Amino acid sequence: MSIRLRLTLWYSGLFAVAFVVFGLIVYNVVYHNTMSELRDRLIQVATKAEAFDSRFPNEYNLNINSSAPGFDSTIIGMQLIDYSSQRSGIVAGKSNNMVRWTITFPNPDQENARKRFVTKQIGDLPFYIYEHPLVIKGTNTVIGLLQVGVFARGEFALFSKLKTILWISGAIGLLAAFLLGMFLSRKALMPINRVTEAAERIRSGSGLGLRIPREKPNDEIGRLTDTLNGMLSGLEGAYKTLEDSNIAQRRFVSDASHELRTPLTTIRGNVDLLEKIWLSEKQTTPEVTEEGLEQSMLSEEDMKQFSLESIRDIADEARRMSSLVNDLLSLARADAGYSIEMENVPLRPLTEEASRRAAFLPRKAEWAVGPLEALDGIEVRGNRDYLLQLLFILIENGFKYTPSGVVRLYAVRSEEYVGLSVADTGIGIRAEEVPHIFERFYRVDVSRGETSGTGLGLSIAKWIADMHQAKIEVRTQLGEGTVFTLWLPILTNMPHVQEIDS
């Protein structure tokens, strides 16, 4: 059963109950008022009734003064019941109009005789009768019963018409309420139908960019519409994020596969070469190896030389693969929400150790350190090993893209942050490429094919910085060089010292 039909039935049911209560009230009010008037008239007639001797023994003529209030001989008749001779009672007298009408009121037995009003149907004629018992003074013995009845066809016809009117009007009202309820429920549920239609369009592939129009934002439907639109916006953002994540993941897998395939190809080629050198038998005809070397019978010294070169190539590619796997492991930890252990780390000793180790890295540029006075007494909350790794990534990056010139490490202080800057005079980065340099496997166009690398270093550096609630600032100029500054929040409050880059 639909909500629309249920709402309509509830509305119609409430209307029916209300109308029944209203009809009962109206009917009872009309009935009470009408019958109260009849009761008053019958009681007045009963109190003025007089009995006269009849020409027959043990019979009486009942009469009343025609000027008595409420008396109307055309509709009111009287009858006297005598219980002195038998308990069922005998009719001892009637009013003259009762004689003419040839009507006798039914009477109760003596033990059931009491003061009351009853409705009796005599033939086709309805009568409303007042029964007044006559008792012996000082006792409760009933010896007679006076019955005063009024011909009430008009009143009961009125009641019958009133019932018919109430039933017909109730049926018409109920039908009108049902139709009105269907109309109102349709109007009320129209916004929900729009919500359903929008959901169906989204399900059928119309896209999460669809929004539900709202008419009255302050009512319940309007608030529901706003909530659903907000939910759709959230779903659209989550879906876009998920889609971007899937694209990035596919690109990540593709780039990782490509980076791993290159050293594997080199290793496999050198292994094949070694196998051919050491397993080849004496040949009488020249043979060309995979490296284009023509050989006949190789001397032991030549075989040793070729083997050492192949082993060096294999070792270099193995180190490259090890570095790449370590980088991928770091990024996998980042994706898995890996949390690193933190401690209070003094920055000056850490920076000096990084600068000392950096002096032994392969490079073509000069290596300069300082000034580092801004680090005196400064501690940060972090992990020493990961901070060293981050600094080495920035320093190696400077060496890699500076074919000539200087790479320098120095420190600055700015309010509650301390900065470790790695500045180089290398190739620089285009402004439009700066937002992408922290993406995985991204390498700027000017460096592709000129410098080796996987494009993962800065992604790892960004993850380590985020874990330390730090920021990496990049300032660069194409052809002039780049400055990477790692801003770390200071653990202890130190006096402000600002180092100026000289």
What does the alpha-carbon distance between residue 129 and residue 78 come to, in Å, rounded to a whole number? Answer: 9
Residue-wise DSSP of 81-112: EE-SS-TT-EEEEEEHHHHHHT-------GGG
Burial (Cβ within 10 Å: 0-12, 13-18, ≥19) of residue 237: exposed
Residue that is written with structure tokens 């000793």 in the block? 349
* Spatial separation of the C-alpha atoms in residues 120 and 125, rounded to whole Å: 8
C-alpha 305/C-alpha 277 separation (Å) is 11
Q: Where are the alpha helices (DSSP H) in 359-408?
A: 384-400
Domain boundaries, the chain: 3-160, 263-334, 339-489
The CATH architecture of the domain made up of 3-160 is 2-Layer Sandwich (3.30)
The three-class DSSP label of residue 285 is coil
How far CA 21 is from CA of 16, 34, 72, in Å, comes to 9, 20, 36
CA distance 171 to 394: 88
Alpha carbons 294 and 291: distance in angstroms, whole number: 9
Question: Which distant-in-sequence residues (6+ apart) come within 8 Å of 254 by Cβ?
Answer: none
Contact present, 173 and 20 (Cβ < 8 Å): no
Evaluate the omega torsion of the peptide bond into residue 371 and state whether it is cis, within 30 degrees of 0.
yes
DSSP 40-54: HHHHHHHHT-EEEE-
CA 130/CA 45 separation, integer angstroms: 10
Q: How far apart are CA 471 and CA 420, in angstroms?
A: 11
Phi, psi of 76, deg, nearest 5: -115, 130
What token pair was written down for 83?
């219980």
3-class DSSP state of 486: strand
The pLDDT profile of the chain, 502 residues, written as one tens digit per residue, is 677 777 788 878 888 888 889 889 998 999 898 888 888 888 888 888 776 665 545 556 666 654 555 556 667 888 888 888 888 888 888 888 787 888 888 989 988 889 999 999 888 888 999 999 988 887 888 888 998 988 888 888 888 899 899 899 888 888 888 888 888 877 777 777 777 777 777 777 666 677 777 666 666 777 777 787 788 788 778 878 787 777 767 766 766 676 677 678 778 887 887 777 777 644 434 444 544 444 445 677 777 777 888 888 788 778 777 767 776 776 676 666 667 788 999 999 999 998 898 888 888 889 999 889 988 888 999 988 889 889 988 998 899 888 888 999 999 998 889 999 999 998 888 888 888 888 876 766 544 445 555 667 888 888 889 888 899 999 998 888 999 999 999 986 544 444 434 3
The CATH code for residues 339-489 is: 3.30.565.10
Measuring CA to CA, which residue among 134, 152, 62 is closest to residue 98?
A: 62
Name the token pair of 350. Answer: 């850490």
Structure token digits, residue 195: 């919500």
Strands (E), 123-204: 125-135, 142-151
Which residues lie below 8 Å from residue 242, measured CB to CB, with a gap of 6+? none
Residue found by looking up tokens 């009761």 in the block: 39
How far lies 179's CA from each of 5, 21, 168, in Å? 11, 21, 17
Give the span between the Cα atoms of 386 and 461, in whole angstroms. 9
